[in-house]
Structure 1
């Protein structure tokens, strides 16, 4: 009989549960409606305690010579549940906001374009510098204006890339606070490639 089965389960565990918890913990031996009716019957018979919590109720078997400890357990559980729920919701909201920001950053084509242009300018600057080192100081391979233009553009892209990279890493670190796996797996799942992955030359300091 469902009523006795539910009572027996509550007595054996001696812990507070909701109707859904009991259905799941009893491996769906009885349906939710049957379990709920059994709980209502047990409450009306005075064999278990009932404590409303939000949209659901928590049930606990009455102790022998009940001195109110069952109610105390329910109150403690309620307080703990409220705290845990609030913390979970706060973290969940932070993760959602961080994931949204990360998606926006990943969707922006300018980030990839800046990375490619920076790598190209790094390579070009290294080539020009090597040629300049080999030639006499009196030999002008590139005009001062051209060199200044390239240097200014390189520094601009360098700063922009560093800024975007820092923002991206901040977002990833924020997500990692609530992410159960490693940072490497997270970056693989969202499709982020590191400088090493794309064999990008080291960024020179300005």
Structure 2
């Protein structure tokens, strides 16, 4: 296996890291052995190691250093740095999408809770209105319930709008329709939950 690695490095006569060698040999040498073999070849003076931070780059030992080899080495390091930057950018994008998704789910939960609160208050208000026709009811209690109902309905409407806006923004970015996103991420609509905004508050 050591011979395969050394022959490959000499034939190519250009800088590679251990991962490059493993990939280019198509598994002829086990991945876990490539790094060990290349380090051993360096110790034997058959390969030259240059470290750039955490990046290790190897080159077949030359009888005399060449400008071309240094240029290729520098190019390899630059390419590795560019790939690392690109991958980090992708990771940041994924984290941003996850953050937006978490915000969207939070808004959906709050909208659902507000809708349930509206339903409860609406039921209580209806009961008080019905009772007021039969017996004396504290007018202040009726007013307080109706005010709480209006406030809860406003919260429902606001949270629903935030949730829908977040879904639409996400949909525009990935080319998906609102209904598709609701099904994909398990977002229940008012209709799914059997809650409909009262006409006087919509």
| CA distance 1:102–1:61, shift in 2 (3 Å) | farther
| 1:162 lines up with 2:157 in the alignment | yes
The equivalent residue for 1:84 is: 86
Larger CA deviation: 158-167 vs 89-98: 89-98
8 A contact 1:50–1:60 mirrored in 2: yes
The equivalent residue for 1:134 is: none
Count how many residue pairs are aligned between Structure 1 and Structure 2. 183
**TM-score normalised by the chain length of structure 2:** 0.55
8 A contact 2:153–2:197 mirrored in 1: no
The equivalent residue for 1:183 is: 181
State the shift of 1:34 in Å. 2.2
| 1:36 lines up with 2:35 in the alignment | yes
| 1:152 lines up with 2:147 in the alignment | yes
User: After superposition, where does 1:1-206 map in structure 2 within 5 Å?
Assistant: 1-5=1-5, 8=8, 18-20=17-19, 22-23=21-22, 28-40=27-39, 41=41, 44-46=45-47, 50-59=49-58, 67=68, 68-95=70-97, 97-98=99-100, 105=106, 112-120=112-120, 148-166=143-161, 168=163, 183-184=181-182, 186-188=184-186, 192-202=187-197, 204=199, 205=201
CA distance in 2, matches of 1:123, 1:160: 18
CA distance in 2, matches of 1:11, 1:159: 73
| CA distance 1:157–1:10, shift in 2 (3 Å) | farther
8 A contact 1:122–1:201 mirrored in 2: no
| CA distance 1:7–1:170, shift in 2 (3 Å) | farther
State the shift of 1:118 in Å. 1.9
Gaps of 5+ in 2: none
Q: RMSD in angstroms over aligned alpha carbons?
A: 5.2
State the shift of 1:117 in Å. 2.3
CA distance in 2, matches of 1:157, 1:146: 16
CA distance in 2, matches of 1:89, 1:174: 20
**Would you tell me which structure has more helix in proportion to its own residues?**
2
Gaps of 5+ in 1: 129-139
| CA distance 1:10–1:157, shift in 2 (3 Å) | farther
| CA distance 1:9–1:185, shift in 2 (3 Å) | farther
CA distance in 2, matches of 1:61, 1:172: 55
